[in-house]
């Protein structure tokens, strides 16, 4: 979603703003813009399309003077992607400029009101009402004015505001959309995410809802909407600048696929001590944990697919009913959730609006929420009752890979932990699962070392028009992710089907040469999946099968077969997902797609 960056210091601001925006490109955008206070006026430059356009327009920022400025990458919601709808937005007289991430829900009423008072609007955006309201209410004190404007706004926002009359301050505000304040020396920054400012500082404050930051060159003051000062805890970012760079790889996605052994190791190893799974993060007593009658998993996209895998694992190991729910559907269906339901929320960004709102709905109904989140200090992490962090580091590619894998690793830890507590697994199983878990990083490394076969298959198959992923049980859960990965970055239509369901309708789509990717790793159902492979082959399908090393006979069943190392059944998705990620990556690469920033997609989806 949109990205915000701001600078106040003694250097020329525009080059820094453009570099910062570049680091936020991963969030998804379709236009960009910057605004500088050049000492006498606010100068705005905006461009539809890639950031390159804005760089050309401003000679990489060199053409714009001014040491105070704000910048923005816009992912269109209200009004098409265009120069005029791009941010920053100016008030009518040009004295105030605003960048905004989020949605102002009551913008139409506010716009009508301002128009009735004679204000003229330029854009179709909800954001412009903020700039216009500031000018409308301004009586000489910018902070008072911003507070008054906030009281008129419904919705979500992270804002950066500058004024020509107030050349030595940036005002930043947050409500339901992320915003951080970077602490520098003789200069300070605002940004939607850490990579934008990492080249300058690792010291940050994370703004919380309804906090207002007032940045000067040499000071940062944070207040609430009653103008009382808020004492914030400074945070030091632990990751290095390399973590947010491509490190020699052509794409972030490939780098992140390669990082998976480390990420899984980092996520599990601090939580296994002397052979026991330790989840200190969970604040519930064993009695409370034993009292749950149902587990409810809420998430979106790939994180939801982790939830579907978790449903199979938890139900088998814990013998508790589990519902994996799309967060965007959950809160509008009057869900049956109460204090006997444990809710698990999964989110890489921790800012996904659908997931966050679903979580709040579950909390309102009395459910205890454990979140699995990657971004430290994000909204879901701070607002859930307990948080288990995945230690995946920054994930920049829009298509998630390493965060998905780290989330799966947390699911295995939880399954073992709860299974022990509930007495549904015995000591022998416990030891076996823990030892299998520890083998995942090495086994993924083996798969990555042998990626050329997948690359070869992708080079033969990248012209496919429709691709079907099939599997049963946990293989079905994984096929959902395989299909999403492929379609989101390669733009090839693909669907995931429970293999046994195909004959109930979809098999009519199989014709000569249709590519079917059959996942046949789940030991108890391999024979059944082989029957489904035969069904589609009889109708002309070209089958690529994914199987475990100990089932070499499957090479004689499918037209091509990729083998992965054997591991206990419930952990198979962690290995099997890797060839699927690689296949999606190599197909997209062969098609020349913009792999890290697929069209229409945003990394952190902060609107419903
Ligand atoms: C797909 C992908 C998305 C996210 C989804 C949830 O590759 O990345 O489907 O999984 O938007 O995002 P988070 O995990 O940030 O809540």
Q: Ligand 1: which atom is nearest the Cα of residue 304?
A: 10
Does residue 300 line the site of ligand 1, with CB under 6 A?
yes
- Domains of the chain: residue spans and CATH: 3-244 (3.60.20.10), 252-449 (3.40.50.10490), 452-591 (3.40.50.10490)
Is residue 228 packed enough to be buried (19+ CB in 10 Å), middle (13-18) or exposed (0-12)? exposed
Q: State in Å: Cα 352 to ligand 1 middle.
A: 8
**206-220 confidence digits (pLDDT tens):** 999 999 999 999 999
Task: Judge contact between 521 and 549, C-beta under 8 A.
Answer: no
How confident is the model over 170-191, as a mean pLDDT? 96
Q: State in Å: Cα 180 to ligand 1 middle.
A: 21
Does residue 28 line the site of ligand 1, with CB under 6 A?
no
**562-572 confidence digits (pLDDT tens):** 999 999 999 99
The answer for residues whose C-beta is within 8 angstroms of residue 386's C-beta and 6 or more apart is: 281, 282, 283, 284, 368, 369, 370, 371
CA distance 176 to 336: 26
Does residue 193 line the site of ligand 1, with CB under 6 A?
no
pLDDT at 124: 93
How confident is the model over 84-104, as a mean pLDDT? 95
Q: Ligand 1: which atom is nearest the Cα of residue 404?
A: 10
Is the pLDDT at 607 greater than 80? The verdict is no
pLDDT at 605: 79
Does residue 57 line the site of ligand 1, with CB under 6 A?
no
Least confident of 226-230, 240-244, 560-564: 240-244
For 314-326, letters b (16+ CB in 10 Å) and e give bebbbeeebbbbe
Mean pLDDT of the chain: 95
- As a whole-number percent, the residues of the chain with pLDDT over 70 amount to 100
Is the pLDDT at 112 greater than 80? The verdict is yes
Q: State in Å: Cα 66 to ligand 1 middle.
A: 38
pLDDT at 463: 92
User: pLDDT: is 246 or 316 the higher one?
Assistant: 316
Confidence of residue 600 (pLDDT cuts 50, 70, 90): confident
Is residue 426 packed enough to be buried (19+ CB in 10 Å), middle (13-18) or exposed (0-12)? exposed
Does residue 489 line the site of ligand 1, with CB under 6 A?
no
The protein residue with its alpha carbon nearest to ligand 1, atom 11, reads: 301
Does residue 532 line the site of ligand 1, with CB under 6 A?
no
How confident is the model over 232-251, as a mean pLDDT? 84
How confident is the model over 104-120, as a mean pLDDT? 96
The protein residue with its alpha carbon nearest to ligand 1, atom 7, reads: 399
The protein residue with its alpha carbon nearest to ligand 1, atom 9, reads: 301
Q: Ligand 1: which atom is nearest the Cα of residue 407?
A: 14
Does residue 355 line the site of ligand 1, with CB under 6 A?
yes
pLDDT at 39: 87
Confidence of residue 245 (pLDDT cuts 50, 70, 90): confident
Q: State in Å: Cα 558 to ligand 1 middle.
A: 32
Q: State in Å: Cα 252 to ligand 1 middle.
A: 16
CA distance 70 to 37: 9
Question: Cα-atom radius of gyration of the chain, to the nearest Å?
Answer: 25
Does residue 146 line the site of ligand 1, with CB under 6 A?
no
Least confident of 126-140, 345-359, 594-608: 594-608
Active site residues per annotation: 2, 603
CA distance 531 to 514: 17
140 dihedral zone (left: phi>0; alpha: psi -120 to 50; beta): left
- For the entire predicted model, the pTM comes to 0.84
**36-60 confidence digits (pLDDT tens):** 999 899 999 999 999 999 999 999 9
Q: Where are the beta strands (DSSP E) in 9-154?
A: 31-37, 42-48, 68-74, 89-90, 96-104
Does residue 328 line the site of ligand 1, with CB under 6 A?
no
How confident is the model over 422-440, as a mean pLDDT? 97
Is the pLDDT at 240 greater than 80? The verdict is no
The residue behind tokens 């894998």 is 405
Question: Which residue among 75, 303, 345 is best mutated to probe the pocket of ligand 1, counting the most ligand atoms within 8 A of its Cβ?
Answer: 303
Does residue 347 line the site of ligand 1, with CB under 6 A?
yes
The answer for residues whose C-beta is within 8 angstroms of residue 129's C-beta and 6 or more apart is: 104, 107, 110, 111, 114
pLDDT at 511: 93
Strand partners, 277: 272
In order, the DSSP letters of 41-81 are: SEEEEEEES-HHHHHHHTTTTTT---SEEEEEEE--SSS-S
Q: State in Å: Cα 312 to ligand 1 middle.
A: 20
Q: State in Å: Cα 602 to ligand 1 middle.
A: 9
SS3 of 450-514: the string is: CCHHHHHHHHHHCCCCEEEEEECCHHHHHHHHHHHHHHHHHCCEEEEEEHHHHHHCHHHHCCCCC
The protein residue with its alpha carbon nearest to ligand 1, atom 3, reads: 301
How confident is the model over 431-460, as a mean pLDDT? 96
Task: Judge contact between 87 and 74, C-beta under 8 A.
Answer: yes
pLDDT at 241: 72
How confident is the model over 311-339, as a mean pLDDT? 96
Q: State in Å: Cα 37 to ligand 1 middle.
A: 37
Is the pLDDT at 495 greater than 90? The verdict is yes
Q: State in Å: Cα 226 to ligand 1 middle.
A: 36
Confidence of residue 608 (pLDDT cuts 50, 70, 90): confident
Does residue 25 line the site of ligand 1, with CB under 6 A?
no
Is the pLDDT at 77 greater than 90? The verdict is no
pLDDT at 1: 72
Does residue 358 line the site of ligand 1, with CB under 6 A?
no
Confidence of residue 243 (pLDDT cuts 50, 70, 90): confident
For 401-411, letters b (16+ CB in 10 Å) and e give bbbbbbbbbbb
Confidence of residue 520 (pLDDT cuts 50, 70, 90): very high
Question: Which residue among 256, 297, 302 is best mutated to probe the pocket of ligand 1, counting the most ligand atoms within 8 A of its Cβ?
Answer: 302
């Amino acid at each position: 979603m949109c990205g915000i960056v701001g600078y106040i210091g003694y250097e020329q601001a525009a080059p820094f703003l453009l570099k910062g925006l570049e680091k936020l490109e991963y969030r998804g955008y379709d236009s960009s813009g910057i605004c500088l206070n050049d000492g006498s006026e606010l100068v705005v430059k905006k461009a539809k399309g890639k950031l390159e356009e804005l760089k050309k327009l401003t000679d990489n920022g060199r053409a714009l003077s001014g040491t105070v400025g704000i910048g923005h990458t816009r992912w269109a919601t209200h009004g098409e992607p265009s120069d005029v709808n791009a941010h920053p937005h100016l008030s009518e007289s040009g004295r105030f400029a605003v960048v905004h991430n989020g949605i102002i829900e009551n913008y139409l009423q506010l716009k009508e009101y301002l128009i009735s008072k004679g204000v003229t609007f330029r854009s179709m955006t909800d954001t412009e009402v903020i700039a216009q309201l500031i000018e409308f209410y301004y009586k000489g004190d910018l902070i008072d004015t911003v507070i008054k404007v906030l009281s008129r706004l419904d919705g979500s926002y992270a804002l950066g505001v500058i004024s020509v009359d107030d050349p030595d301050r940036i005002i930043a505000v947050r409500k339901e959309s992320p915003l951080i304040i970077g602490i520098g020396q003789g200069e300070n920054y605002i940004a939607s995410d850490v990579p934008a400012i990492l080249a300058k500082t690792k010291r940050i404050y994370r703004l919380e809802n309804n906090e207002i930051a007032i940045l000067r060159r040499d000071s940062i003051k944070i207040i609430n909407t009653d103008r009382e000062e808020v004492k914030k805890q400074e945070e030091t970012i632990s990751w290095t600048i390399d973590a947010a760079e491509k490190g020699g790889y052509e794409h972030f996605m490939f780098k992140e696929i390669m990082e998976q052994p480390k990420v899984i190791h980092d996520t599990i190893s601090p939580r296994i001590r002397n052979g026991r799974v330790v989840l200190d993060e969970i604040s519930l007593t064993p009695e409370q944990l034993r009292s749950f009658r149902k587990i409810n998993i809420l998430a979106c996209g790939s994180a939801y697919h982790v939830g579907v895998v978790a449903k199979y694992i938890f139900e088998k190991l814990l013998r508790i009913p589990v519902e994996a729910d799309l967060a965007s559907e959950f809160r509008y269906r009057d869900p049956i959730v109460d204090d006997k339901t444990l809710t698990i929320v999964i989110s890489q960004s921790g800012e996904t609006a659908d997931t966050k709102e679903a979580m709040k709905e579950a909390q309102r109904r009395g459910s205890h929420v454990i979140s699995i989140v990657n971004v430290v200090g994000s909204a879901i992490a701070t607002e859930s009752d307990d948080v288990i962090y995945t230690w995946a580091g920054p994930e920049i590619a829009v298509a998630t890979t390493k965060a998905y894998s780290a989330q799966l690793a947390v699911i295995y830890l939880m399954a073992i932990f709860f299974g022990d507590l509930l007495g549904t697994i015995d000591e022998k199983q416990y030891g076996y699962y823990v030892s299998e878990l520890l083998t995942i990083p090495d086994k993924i490394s083996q798969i990555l070392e042998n990626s050329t076969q997948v690359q070869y298959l992708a080079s033969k198959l990248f012209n496919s028009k429709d691709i079907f992923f099939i599997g049963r049980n946990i293989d079905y859960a994984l096929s959902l992710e395989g299909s999403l990965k492929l379609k989101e970055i390669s733009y090839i239509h693909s669907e995931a089907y429970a293999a046994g369901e195909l004959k109930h309708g979809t098999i009519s789509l199989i014709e000569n040469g249709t590519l079917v990717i059959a996942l046949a790793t789940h030991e108890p159902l391999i024979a059944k999946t082989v029957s489904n492979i035969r069904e589609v082959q009889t109708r002309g399908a070209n089958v690529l099968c994914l199987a475990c090393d100990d089932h070499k006979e499957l090479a004689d069943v499918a037209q091509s077969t990729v083998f992965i190392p054997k591991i206990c059944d419930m952990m198979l998705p962690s290995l099997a997902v890797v060839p699927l990620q690689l296949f999606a990556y190599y197909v997209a690469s062969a098609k020349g797609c913009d792999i890290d920033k697929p069209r229409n997609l945003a990394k952190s989806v902060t609107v419903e």
